[in-house]
Structure 1
Amino acid sequence: MEQLKHECGVAMIRLLKPLDYYQKKYGTWMYGLNKLYLMMEKQHNRGQEGAGIACVKLNTLPGNEYMFREKALGANAITEIFGSAQKEFRNLSKEQLADAEYAKENLPFAGELYMGHLRYSTTGKSGLQYVHPFLRRNNWKAKNLCLCGNFNMTNIDEIFSKITSQGQCPRIFSDSYIMLEWMGHRLDREVERNFVDAKENGLQGTDITDYIDDHVRMSNVLRTTMPDFDGGYVVCGLTGSGEMFSMRDPWGIRPAFYYKNDEVVVVASERPVLQTTFDIECDQICELKPGEAVVVNKKGEFSLEKILDQRGDSACSFERIYFSRGSDRDIYRERKKLGDLLMKPILKAIDNDVEHTVFSFIPNTAEVAYYGMLGSFKRYINEQKIQAIESLGHMPTHEELEKILEQFVRSEKVAWKDIKLRTFITEGNSRNDLASHVYDVTYEVLEKGVDNLVVIDDSIVRGTTLRESIIKILDRLHPKKIVIVSSSPQIRYPDYYGIDMAKLEEFIAFRACIALLQDRGMQSLIDETYKNCIDELKKPKEEMQCCVKALYKPFTVEELNTKMVELLRPAEVTTPIELVYQSIEGLHTAIPDHKGDWYFTGNYPTPGGMKLVNQAFINYYDNVYQYEQKF
């Protein structure tokens, strides 16, 4: 499939012991920094456009830096930022480098709080200024705020209007910067509240500062900022006074996991990252609940705070299908089940001819679903063998048994991911030619004109790679029929919660739908949907519904599949092609605890999502559809 970009990955560590403790037990005071590096490398799949880290030292004296940050762009950003963080370590003696007290007093990134972030842009905004973490400075420790997250907000225009109406003036219009300023504003108010309390208690001078540092409650800040945001998010932050927090959206769209013992509190976007980094069991790790926050105060006291009431049960199913690491225990099982459930429609597509069918997959994320698909066909073949033996009506001879038992499921690695398209080549024809060679094929693994070829992928989004590369290279094997299987249902609607699916016209399922409407003289439904979307946007956001659903209602999944094949088939390919998609029911059976399926159903969990999908169709109609009708 085409590479999809996911919003981000996060990693946080709060050391609960002095640095000298880790030096004595683990042989290095850099225990926290090293673990942060491992956690980020293990989540490299979640962001390769940039990365950043931050650190806070506790109990520093005035005149000494206590907050540190490094950011870098590119696929090698993790290596670069950790190299920069440790550049001052290179000229130290072994004795100095092993001295935790010396490190705490003299070296950067020798602290107790660490935060890391991996970025994929889904907004089209790029550059170092958009790489997390973001830092808001102040001379009061408690007012310093460092923020990062895995989020995409659907109502940033509303938040922008709200904070500018109060007199604030954000430098950049992006959800990250606006969240930083809005949360920073509320942090200022929390500090000022404690300042008043300290004065009323008769405190003066630095005693007031100490009181503030010890009594800031980040849960207050979160409760006065996060109710305004609509979207999918895990927001993480550190303050200069030593507060750490991580909060999950109340719909449970984006994932977060945490682990605590008497040495550390850690947070990550994915569970197996924590398992591997800290050598712990799956059941020792907890998932952050929707609307909940992990909070660790300056003293190292851990608490789970309910910030918002849960507003939905919409954990992202695409996390399970594609983005998250397949090494997670439950995700592995779910992906296998997705493949397993596709046996019946595949059998129909190959006319039950398993004997003359080769099964394979598109590398690499579909591999687990492929194992599930193979398992279902192995069971099917075994049932056929049992029936054949039982139907004999007598004790089978050796030759009869041999003939029956030699039936098996034929599986081969057909497709190989060969190269990455070099982005410096911008000329269209050259790019298309290179794209056709992204995959290669294993030759002569099936009988030409006799064997069917079934290949499974995790999803079919835009169809570009299928058209430009995969179908062409599979056709080189000259199969009787090509069956392309998607372990997920048809992707019909954009995402607005952190995945780069924002335009309807990019989806092959949507383009097939529009083409069918035109083929059957039903353009009036397109015009009607446009008007309905405009009317829908006049309603209060909470009352909006997805009008785009109406476009798909006249057609069955099979009709859309047939049209998609027409649109995807390269001119030179004549081999019969059929698409097989996972059903919505199959999706929910395989992934019962992650009900966020808006990509497939249009059932957006938040009002902002409903608003944006209607606006997306208006944008398509105004900028694409009407233009195409003129030519």
Structure 2
Amino acid sequence: MSDEIKHECGLAFIRLRKPFSHYQKQYGSVLYGLNKLYLLMEKQHNRGQDGAGIAAVKLDVEPGYPFLHRLRSSANQPIADLFFKVGQEIAELEKYQPDIKQHAGLMKGHLPFLGELMLGHLRYGTQGKNNVEFCHPFIKRNTNPARNLALAGNFNLVNTDELFGLVNIDPGEFQKQSDLAAMMEVVHHFLVKEDELNPNNPSLCNVLKKATPLFDGGYTIGAMTGNGASFVMRDAHGIRPAYYYVDNEVIVAASERAAIRTTFNVGENEVLELMPGQALIVEPNGQYHIEQILEPKERRACSFERIYFSRGSDEKIYRERITLGHKLSKRILEHIDYDLKNTIFSYIPNTAEVAFYGLVKGMEEYLNQIKVQRIMSWGKDFDEEKLNEMITRKIRQEKIAIKDVKLRTFITEDSSRNEMVQHVYDITYGTVQKGVDTLVVIDDSIVRGTTLKESIVRMLGRLGPKKIIVVSSAPQIRYPDCYGIDMSKLGDFVAFRAAIELLKEKGMTDVIDEAHTTIKEMQRNNQLHTENVVRRLYKPFTTEEISDKIAQLITPAGFTTPVQVIYQNIEDLHASCPTNTGDWYFTGNYPTPGGNRVCNKALLNYLDGKNVRGY
């Protein structure tokens, strides 16, 4: 993705089902669980960039000794920082007893994070500040072990104010900025109530059935209590991803299937998807059960997971991204007038690479058809040279764009800063016949269009192509998100800006005014959740009209090379990613009422000149 919308949060959960001595004997290390937690987090490092945290619960600890430990970091490399600190603690122990790692009991007693239950989290902050206090897990401490709670998740809630009110809490400044704080208060409230009914053995199933119906948002959450109970749960629409794996040694859950497969070296079918509304509940004795906490609703798993967020090492995601590119090939052939001889195909590194392979595959299929037709039309009128020339013809592929460096410039003036942004990407010179070749460059999605305009299109223009075609493997991003992705300002979306420009050009500003009036009225009547009014701004125009306007918006001033933009359509997105139908970014069809409310609030903010989030 050339325009960073950054990443989702990531969750990692491990419950060891054997004594530490078992892992020492079987795998040669009492640190087996910690090593696996590190790997499980690193294999999801594509998700969180703002910080990370780990928590551990020790079982069967003598009264008076600590049993819940937590460590968080907002360093540049937070996972490495966390486990470096754990490593320092191990080294300190070895100073006094060099062979301590050979004694499982001593290690458990002296190393804080050597617990049977472990929870790891990678944070990307869509809400709250990017400092360590906002990193998950959050914890609640209590003298009663069963009322101690560590909670982390991949989610956003859009009803945090209501949640604080439901548990009669007047939130402080910190709590107002964190939706996890609101979720923590609600879950802990019902955990305490349940412990009053079932002292020292509260049913997490009962807690979740009371707490989670109150949450409006998409979420995968994981938690551990001080008495050794734990759970991982997914929202009723399955918006955020969750997978788990169980054997006689471990119970594992994470945000990505591939991370579990790699960390534990298991097959695809051994890692199961936690289905919408379900919770994986692990009892203090290590037994587990899957509970349907919320009645499953229409599955609306996030399509961006398949397009961009999740690692492409998952075989299903890899195939889906291939298909996304392949589905675009016919339309691109039409746009280049089937002139493969004078067309070069490339991609925006690095996440569009797999879709690029699918696009090229589609082009190769067409080229092979042409080869067969031509050869058949020759009859016997050919020689070895003529035949060889035909069968060796290939699709022209080049690595045109090179992501050079993530520039962090100290320059603040807009003009100078734009000059620096131009150099985030570099080009491969000598690949294009000037004025002859068309450049087709695929990106996985186009959000703001800023990097395309200020860097990529300018850069490609230096090669002197006849035409530049920018292709998006995702449809036009038109609507904000409120379920875990930092996309809640409408003015950031190039598709929205294109619609506004078209309305102004065609003398249709009354559509904007009417939408503004409608939303203000809805807000007065507390009805913002009832209709997505932003859809009205796109309705007068075809997808192609908006794409053409986007092409104009991403073309730098004075740029002479024609620029076209081609987007994936919704039908082909769903055909490519059949299990992840959450498409509200593109269609405005939100799975919960909070989505409409956020979307309308985002439009109101834009029209009132407020550069703030929609929630």
- Distance in 1 between residues matched to 2:606 and 2:557, nearest whole Å: 27
The yes-or-no answer on 1:490 pairing with 2:461 is no
Report if the CA contact (8 A) 1:315-1:595 is conserved: yes
- Distance in 1 between residues matched to 2:303 and 2:525, nearest whole Å: 29
The yes-or-no answer on 1:159 pairing with 2:163 is yes
Query: Which residue does the alignment assign to 2:188?
Result: 184
- Distance in 1 between residues matched to 2:525 and 2:16, nearest whole Å: 49
Query: Which residue does the alignment assign to 1:414?
Result: 400
The yes-or-no answer on 1:114 pairing with 2:115 is no
- Distance in 1 between residues matched to 2:281 and 2:602, nearest whole Å: 37
- Distance in 1 between residues matched to 2:280 and 2:302, nearest whole Å: 21
Once the two structures are superposed, residues 27-75 of structure 1 have per-residue CA deviations (whole angstroms, 9 ceiling, x without a partner) of 1111111100001111111001100000000000122111111001033
Match of 2:428 among 416, 429, 442: 442
Match of 1:172 among 157, 170, 175: 175
Report if the CA contact (8 A) 2:128-2:134 is conserved: no
Once the two structures are superposed, residues 598-622 of structure 1 have per-residue CA deviations (whole angstroms, 9 ceiling, x without a partner) of 0000000111001111111111111
Question: Which amino acid counterpart does residue 246 of structure 1 have in structure 2?
Answer: V
1:44 is paired with a residue whose SS is: coil
The yes-or-no answer on 1:596 pairing with 2:600 is no
Deviation at 1:6, TM superposition (A): 2.6
Once the two structures are superposed, residues 535-556 of structure 1 have per-residue CA deviations (whole angstroms, 9 ceiling, x without a partner) of 4446676971211111111111
Question: How do 1:520-535 residues align onto structure 2 when only pairs under 5 Å count?
Answer: 520-535=506-521
Question: How do 1:275-424 residues align onto structure 2 when only pairs under 5 Å count?
Answer: 275-394=261-380, 396-422=382-408, 424=410
- Distance in 1 between residues matched to 2:227 and 2:506, nearest whole Å: 66
Bigger mean CA offset, 423-432 vs 95-104? 423-432
Deviation at 1:87, TM superposition (A): 2.4
List runs of 5+ in structure 2 lacking aligned partners: none
- Distance in 2 between residues matched to 1:124 and 1:346, nearest whole Å: 42
2:46 is paired with a residue whose SS is: helix
Match of 2:227 among 196, 216, 241: 241
- Distance in 1 between residues matched to 2:605 and 2:13, nearest whole Å: 39
The yes-or-no answer on 1:134 pairing with 2:138 is yes
Count of paired positions: 606
Once the two structures are superposed, residues 154-193 of structure 1 have per-residue CA deviations (whole angstroms, 9 ceiling, x without a partner) of 111221222236x787951121111111111111111111
- Distance in 2 between residues matched to 1:556 and 1:168, nearest whole Å: 46
Query: Which residue does the alignment assign to 2:24?
Result: 23
Query: Which residue does the alignment assign to 1:555?
Result: 541
- How does the TM-score come out when normalised to structure 2? 0.96
1:231–1:438 Cα change, 3 Å: same
Bigger mean CA offset, 492-501 vs 554-563? 554-563
1:395–1:533 Cα change, 3 Å: same
- Distance in 2 between residues matched to 1:168 and 1:359, nearest whole Å: 54
The yes-or-no answer on 1:620 pairing with 2:606 is yes
Report if the CA contact (8 A) 2:8-2:309 is conserved: no
Once the two structures are superposed, residues 90-115 of structure 1 have per-residue CA deviations (whole angstroms, 9 ceiling, x without a partner) of 13134212210111222211210001
1:90 is paired with a residue whose SS is: helix
1:403 is paired with a residue whose SS is: helix
- How does the TM-score come out when normalised to structure 1? 0.93
The yes-or-no answer on 1:461 pairing with 2:485 is no
1:375 is paired with a residue whose SS is: helix
1:507–1:168 Cα change, 3 Å: closer
The yes-or-no answer on 1:71 pairing with 2:75 is no
Query: Which residue does the alignment assign to 2:499?
Result: 513
- Distance in 1 between residues matched to 2:451 and 2:528, nearest whole Å: 38
The yes-or-no answer on 1:51 pairing with 2:52 is yes
Report if the CA contact (8 A) 1:48-1:74 is conserved: no
Once the two structures are superposed, residues 472-493 of structure 1 have per-residue CA deviations (whole angstroms, 9 ceiling, x without a partner) of 1111110011010000001111
Question: Which amino acid counterpart does residue 453 of structure 1 have in structure 2?
Answer: L
- Distance in 2 between residues matched to 1:85 and 1:185, nearest whole Å: 32
- Distance in 1 between residues matched to 2:261 and 2:236, nearest whole Å: 25
Question: How do 1:187-206 residues align onto structure 2 when only pairs under 5 Å count?
Answer: 187-195=191-199
2:406 is paired with a residue whose SS is: coil
- Distance in 2 between residues matched to 1:431 and 1:10, nearest whole Å: 36
Once the two structures are superposed, residues 244-290 of structure 1 have per-residue CA deviations (whole angstroms, 9 ceiling, x without a partner) of 11000001100000000000000010000001000000110000000
Identity between Structure 1 and Structure 2 (%): 50
Report if the CA contact (8 A) 1:51-1:77 is conserved: yes
Query: Which residue does the alignment assign to 1:86?
Result: 87
- Distance in 2 between residues matched to 1:125 and 1:183, nearest whole Å: 23
Match of 1:146 among 136, 150, 160: 150
Question: Which amino acid counterpart does residue 59 of structure 1 have in structure 2?
Answer: D
Report if the CA contact (8 A) 2:51-2:72 is conserved: yes
Query: Which residue does the alignment assign to 1:228?
Result: 214
1:225 is paired with a residue whose SS is: helix
Query: Which residue does the alignment assign to 2:593?
Result: 607
- Distance in 2 between residues matched to 1:501 and 1:169, nearest whole Å: 26
Bigger mean CA offset, 616-625 vs 50-59? 616-625
Question: Which amino acid counterpart does residue 311 of structure 1 have in structure 2?
Answer: K
1:224 is paired with a residue whose SS is: helix
Bigger mean CA offset, 90-99 vs 392-401? 392-401
- Distance in 2 between residues matched to 1:541 and 1:305, nearest whole Å: 34
Question: Which amino acid counterpart does residue 121 of structure 1 have in structure 2?
Answer: G
Report if the CA contact (8 A) 1:170-1:177 is conserved: no
Once the two structures are superposed, residues 358-398 of structure 1 have per-residue CA deviations (whole angstroms, 9 ceiling, x without a partner) of 00000000000000000000000000111111222436332
2:416 is paired with a residue whose SS is: helix
1:473–1:543 Cα change, 3 Å: closer
Deviation at 1:581, TM superposition (A): 0.6
1:493 is paired with a residue whose SS is: coil
1:555 is paired with a residue whose SS is: coil
Once the two structures are superposed, residues 211-249 of structure 1 have per-residue CA deviations (whole angstroms, 9 ceiling, x without a partner) of x2xx32111111111100010100110111001110000
- Distance in 1 between residues matched to 2:171 and 2:429, nearest whole Å: 64
Report if the CA contact (8 A) 1:536-1:545 is conserved: no
- Distance in 1 between residues matched to 2:473 and 2:314, nearest whole Å: 18
- Distance in 2 between residues matched to 1:317 and 1:538, nearest whole Å: 34
Once the two structures are superposed, residues 392-414 of structure 1 have per-residue CA deviations (whole angstroms, 9 ceiling, x without a partner) of 24363323323322422100100
Once the two structures are superposed, residues 409-429 of structure 1 have per-residue CA deviations (whole angstroms, 9 ceiling, x without a partner) of 100100000011215443433
Report if the CA contact (8 A) 2:479-2:588 is conserved: yes
- Distance in 2 between residues matched to 1:458 and 1:345, nearest whole Å: 16
2:313 is paired with a residue whose SS is: coil
Query: Which residue does the alignment assign to 1:208?
Result: none
List runs of 5+ in structure 1 lacking aligned partners: 196-211, 626-631
Once the two structures are superposed, residues 519-540 of structure 1 have per-residue CA deviations (whole angstroms, 9 ceiling, x without a partner) of 0000000011122223444667
Question: Which amino acid counterpart does residue 106 of structure 1 have in structure 2?
Answer: H
Report if the CA contact (8 A) 2:534-2:600 is conserved: yes
1:282–1:538 Cα change, 3 Å: farther
Question: Which amino acid counterpart does residue 288 of structure 2 have in structure 1?
Answer: F
- Distance in 2 between residues matched to 1:488 and 1:437, nearest whole Å: 25
The yes-or-no answer on 1:62 pairing with 2:63 is yes
- Distance in 1 between residues matched to 2:3 and 2:270, nearest whole Å: 35
Report if the CA contact (8 A) 2:7-2:49 is conserved: no
- Distance in 1 between residues matched to 2:326 and 2:226, nearest whole Å: 51
Query: Which residue does the alignment assign to 2:238?
Result: 252
